[in-house]
Amino acid sequence: MNKKLDANYYSKLLELQQLDFALVELTLYLDTHPNDLQAIQQFNQLAKQRQQCAHEFEMLYGPLMQFGHSYSKYPWQWIETPWPWQV
């Protein structure tokens, strides 16, 4: 099966990638600046935003991650391609 991809699919996927990038950078920064309250608050805000964005993406287009990190609707969605890492 092949999912019907639209502009929103790519927009949401790009938003997730941008949030992931910012979270990785903040994690690296916080590893060396663990007492930076503003950075911790920004990290937590972006983590919440990423969780919401991922949930919205999954409700529209299917799971992002395997091994119990994402839910699947019925029927089983993992047979539908392309997967997010293939586009």
> Which residues, 6 or more positions from 19, have their beta carbon under 8 angstroms from its beta carbon?
46, 49, 50, 53
Give the pLDDT score at 1.
Answer: 45
pTM confidence score: 0.76
> Phi and psi at residue 2, in whole multiples of 5°?
-130, 125
27-81 residue pLDDT tens: 999 999 999 999 999 999 999 999 999 999 988 888 887 766 566 566 666 667 7
